[in-house]
Amino acid sequence: MLFDAHMHIGDFPMFGVSLDLAGLRTIFAEQRLDGGVVFHPDNELVSRSVAEVEGAHGLFWANPRHPGVADDCDGFLGRGFVGVKLHPLLDGYHPNDPSVHPVMEVLRARRAPALIHCGHPIFTLPWSIEELVREFPDVSVILGHMGHGNIVYINAAIDVAARNDNVYLETSGMPMHSKIAEAVQRVGRERVLFGSDVPFHDAEVERLKVEKSGLSDEDLSWVLGRSAAQLFLS
Ligand SMILES: [Zn+2]
């Protein structure tokens, strides 16, 4: 079971990368993905795309600055989306801004998780996300990139997950394979999720990083897929 917990679709000219529907299909086929979650600020684009790829599921991109975001979120979750993506850095808000809370209330009611970009100042550091996590202890929150490229933030992301049972860690873009094993040891394999962050990172490289992290076969099977499938689909 291979489940990718972090997939973007669309064009990203600032980064010089893009992924269209054909590209998404290719990744699912080449990587033999059983499942994955896909997102973009244009939620209708995501809805059309995941309908075309077996195993692909949408996350609702929630920008709390948009009026009616909670109702929109509820609507998309009602149509089969399996959670929410929050990007406080791109959209410019503190993770625990009161405007985020109505979205979290929808997630609580629908028992669905939020994936939050984690690892860049000023809005996506682990300690700031922890404020939101503590406000909503019954909503599952995934720290996307588990701190990203900075060891202080990576360690803090693992600490936040260790302190809060509702926090999960997602591996994409985080360079240290050894920190994946440490995360499993400290918070348990069911709360560590493989993600690729395509097209910003290569799906195969990201998977290989997890496979080389020193986990047992049993732990690896959870991190590569079972943990995410359990969180998003059950
Ligand atoms: Zn991403």
In order of their start, the domains of the chain are 3-233 (3.20.20.140)
Read off the pLDDT band of 85 (50, 70, 90): very high
> For a pLDDT cut of 70, what percent of the chain falls above it?
100
How far does residue 132's CA lie from ligand 1's centre (Å)? 20
How far does residue 35's CA lie from ligand 1's centre (Å)? 17
How far does residue 170's CA lie from ligand 1's centre (Å)? 10
Under 8 Å between Cβ of 174 and 146:
yes
How far does residue 117's CA lie from ligand 1's centre (Å)? 7
Average pLDDT over residues 82-103: 98
pTM over 0.85: yes
Read off the pLDDT band of 203 (50, 70, 90): very high
Say which residue the tokens 């993506």 belong to.
85
Average pLDDT over residues 126-143: 98
pLDDT value at residue 155: 98
Task: Select from 207, 210, 208 the least CA-distant residue to 219.
Answer: 210
Read off the pLDDT band of 168 (50, 70, 90): very high
The residues, any chain, with a CB within 8 Å of residue 29's CB and separated by 6 or more, are: none
How far does residue 40's CA lie from ligand 1's centre (Å)? 10
Say which residue the tokens 């080389």 belong to.
212
Q: What is the mean pLDDT of the chain?
A: 98
Three-state DSSP state, 33: coil
pLDDT value at residue 123: 97
Task: Select from 204, 154, 190, 195 the least CA-distant residue to 171.
Answer: 195
Read off the pLDDT band of 69 (50, 70, 90): very high
Q: Which two tokens stand for residue 120?
A: 């860049």
How far does residue 6's CA lie from ligand 1's centre (Å)? 6
